[in-house]
Amino acid sequence: MSWCSPGALWRYELNKRKLCALTIDDVPLLDKPSSLEEILDVLKENKVKATLFVMSGFDLPPEKGGPPKELRKRYRDLLDRAVKEGHELANHLQFDRPAIAMEQNDFDEAFNHCNDLLAQLSGQADWSKRPNRWFRPASALFNQHMLKLAREKKYTTVIASCYPHDVAAITRFVNSWYLRWRARPGAIIVVHDRWHTAATLKKAIPEILKSGMTLGTLSELRAAYEQEAPSKSKAS
């Protein structure tokens, strides 16, 4: 079965495949330097695909909270690269602010802005027929309005079952160990775009793969779950 609480997905239960999903939040980080390019390099080096939770505020002009034009282009180029390399893009609203504290109208605007950007980056035709769309609220706190809008837009709200609290820089010394320890079949791993994330993944991913686990996107994890439990394929 999939594990929901309630209406949000935290993990899948797999009995046959040793697969877990790797997800990366706050892509691209806006208030501090992003390490997205280095993260993509590490994923490519290890032949791992991930689900990137995009904050669409990077595509706004500075007067609306976005970065300068040159940086907007750089981030678009990096996300274009991510799509070409087989990574999956997902909705993380616009900025790194707790979603639960947003007014409904502000939340709706941020959700729809990110959705429209994801459609552009993924290709409108591909996006319109995509079987899986993923949403994660900033700070992982949600309410019924968020869940309702996500369902209406054909999204699954997803949290995670493996989180090393990597937004605090000091945890980088134990993050790779934590990820190796918590990577188990059906797990949903979340790390964040921070200056130390690429180094954490560079150390953790080879060890996870060496243990016999496979890392992939959320859609790959859902497909594995559906293959094992076809009668429950809509449980999440």
**Mean pLDDT across the chain:** 93
Q: How confident is the model at residue 236 (pLDDT cuts 50, 70, 90)?
A: very low
Q: How confident is the model at residue 40 (pLDDT cuts 50, 70, 90)?
A: very high
Q: Average pLDDT of 120-127?
A: 89
Q: How confident is the model at residue 2 (pLDDT cuts 50, 70, 90)?
A: low
Percent of the chain at pLDDT > 90 equals: 83
**220 pLDDT higher than 60:** yes
**231 pLDDT higher than 60:** no
What CA dihedral angle connects 222, 188, 134 and 62, to 10 degrees?
-150
Give the tens place of pLDDT for each residue, 50-64: 999 999 999 999 999
Closest CA to 192 of 16, 11, 31: 31
Give the pLDDT score at 5: 61
Q: From residue 98, how far is each of 56, 95, 115, 160 by CA, in Å?
A: 15, 9, 18, 16
Give the pLDDT score at 38: 98
**233 pLDDT higher than 60:** no
Give the tens place of pLDDT for each residue, 77-94: 999 999 999 999 999 999
Domains of the chain, each with CATH number or no CATH: 2-232 (3.20.20.370)
Give the tens place of pLDDT for each residue, 173-183: 899 999 999 99
Task: Provide the β-strand partners of residue 230.
Answer: none
